[in-house]
Amino acid sequence: MTVVGAVDCGTNSIRLLVARREDGVLTDLHREMRVVRLGEGVDATGRFAEGALARTRAALEDYAEIMRHHGVGALRMVATSATRDAANREVFFDMTREVLAPVVAGSVAEVISGDEEARLSFAGAVGEFDATDGPFVVTDLGGGSTEVVLGVDGEVVAARSVNIGCVRLTERVLHSDPPTAEEVATAHDVARGELQAAFDAVPVDQARTWVGVAGTMTTLAALAQGLETYDPDRIHRSRVPLDRLTEVCEGLVAATRDQRAALGPMHPGRVDVIGGGSIVTLELAREFARRAGIEELVVSEKDILDGIALSAEASGA
C-alpha cells in the first residue's frame, strides 16, 4: 500500500490530497484547499507577482509537512493555467523543487497541457457515478482556464481547454462593484467567444449528464441548496436544475462584494471572482441545454486532484 500525495496548483487556489489506495479505491487521509491567487495579475503582466509566489510557498510548505506526517511515498504536483502563461515560471519551479524535496526526492511541479488537465479532471470526477448516466460531459472551471471533456464508457473521447476562468474573466472585464450592465454584457461575450473553441472540438450533443467540478461549481451548488455553511457531503453528487442555477448565478453577478461575502458557504477567497465564474457557468449551461437538451448540473467534489492522485500512484512518481 502506497500513501499518495497530490497537489493541484491553479490560478486561484492550491489544493492537497493525501490518500491511500485499498481495493482499487482512493481513501482520503487529508484534503485541503487554500486560496493563494498565484495567477493574480498574470493575464495583464505575463509574470508572477512576488506576493503571489510568497503566498503559494507558505501554503506548499505547510502541505509538505502534512505529507511527511502521513508518510507519502508517491507524489505528483501539477500546475495549470497561470503557470503556462508566466514568463518567470522558473522561479516557481525552483521553489517547488526546494519545498517538495524533503517529502519525495526529485519532486517538482510540472506544467501539464490543457488536454492533460482535462483528462485528469474527467478521471477524478466520474469515478463514483453510475455508468448508465453517461455519456458524461465534465467541466472544470478554474481561475484561468475551463476544461470541457466528453467521456463515453469511461474513456475520454474529446477534450479541450480554453483560457477563460473566474479570475481571468473578472480581472479582464468586471471592475465595478457591482458590475455595470455593460461589463456584464461584455463578460458574457468574452466567455462565449472563448468557450466556442471547446464546443467546436467536443461533441457535447452526445452527452446525457453534465458534471461540474472545482470551487465555482461546488459553491453554486451549496447556494442553490440554501446551505448555511459549506457541506461537502451534501454538495457531492447533488443536482441543480438549470433554472435554479441561472437564478443563483444571476444573483451573484448582480450582488455587491459585501453581499457575496455575507453568504454562508462562500469561501473568502472566492468572493471577488465568483461573479466571473457564474458568467462562465451560465454560458456553459445555455450551450449544454441547446446542444444536448441537458436540464440540470450534477456537482462532484471529486475532480482533478483525485485524478492526479491516481496518476501519481500508477506511475510511482
* pLDDT score of 97: 95
Q: Is residue 136 part of a domain?
A: yes
Q: Is residue 151 part of a domain?
A: yes
Do 287 and 219 lie in one domain? The reply is: yes
Distance CA 121, CA 215 (A): 13
Do 135 and 90 lie in one domain? The reply is: no
Do 268 and 154 lie in one domain? The reply is: yes
In the chain, % of residues over pLDDT 70: 97
Q: Is residue 89 part of a domain?
A: yes
Do 202 and 177 lie in one domain? The reply is: yes
Q: What are phi and psi of 203, to 5 degrees?
A: -80, 75
Distance CA 146, CA 118 (A): 9
Mean of the pLDDT values across residues 129-148? Answer: 92
Do 222 and 177 lie in one domain? The reply is: yes
Q: From 206, 194, 213, select the one nearest 293 (Cα to Cα).
A: 206
Distance CA 249, CA 27 (A): 33
Identify the bridge partners of residue 162 per DSSP, sorted by sequence position: 146
Within 13 Å of residue 289, how many CA atoms lie on the same side as its CB?
A: 14
Q: Is residue 18 part of a domain?
A: yes
Indicate which CATH number applies to the domain containing 75.
3.30.420.40
Q: Is residue 122 part of a domain?
A: no
pTM: 0.79
Q: Is residue 120 part of a domain?
A: no
Do 9 and 94 lie in one domain? The reply is: yes
Do 99 and 17 lie in one domain? The reply is: yes
Mean of the pLDDT values across residues 89-94? Answer: 93
Q: What are phi and psi of 53, to 5 degrees?
A: -65, -40
As given in the structure block, the three cell numbers for residue 173 are 472585464
As given in the structure block, the three cell numbers for residue 152 are 463515453
Do 152 and 270 lie in one domain? The reply is: yes
* pLDDT score of 121: 83
Mean of the pLDDT values across residues 188-209? Answer: 97
As given in the structure block, the three cell numbers for residue 247 are 437564478
Please give the residue range of the domain that contains residue 83.
3-114+305-315
* pLDDT score of 127: 79
**156-165, 236-245, 283-292, 306-315: segment of lowest average pLDDT:** 306-315
* pLDDT score of 23: 66
Please calculate the CA angle 195-175-140 and round it to the nearest 5 degrees.
30
Mean of the pLDDT values across residues 41-60? Answer: 93
Do 134 and 262 lie in one domain? The reply is: yes
Distance CA 13, CA 11 (A): 6
Packing angle between helix 274-292 and helix 215-224, nearest 10 degrees?
A: 80
Q: Is residue 56 part of a domain?
A: yes
Indicate which CATH number applies to the domain containing 233.
3.30.420.150
Do 178 and 32 lie in one domain? The reply is: no
Provide CB contacts within 8 A for 70, sequence distance 6+: 3, 5, 18, 29, 30
Do 151 and 103 lie in one domain? The reply is: no
- State the total domains in the chain: 2
Q: Is residue 228 part of a domain?
A: yes
Which pLDDT band holds residue 24 (cuts at 50, 70, 90)? low
As given in the structure block, the three cell numbers for residue 183 are 461589463
Q: Is the pLDDT of residue 273 over 50?
A: yes
Do 92 and 223 lie in one domain? The reply is: no
Distance CA 190, CA 192 (A): 5
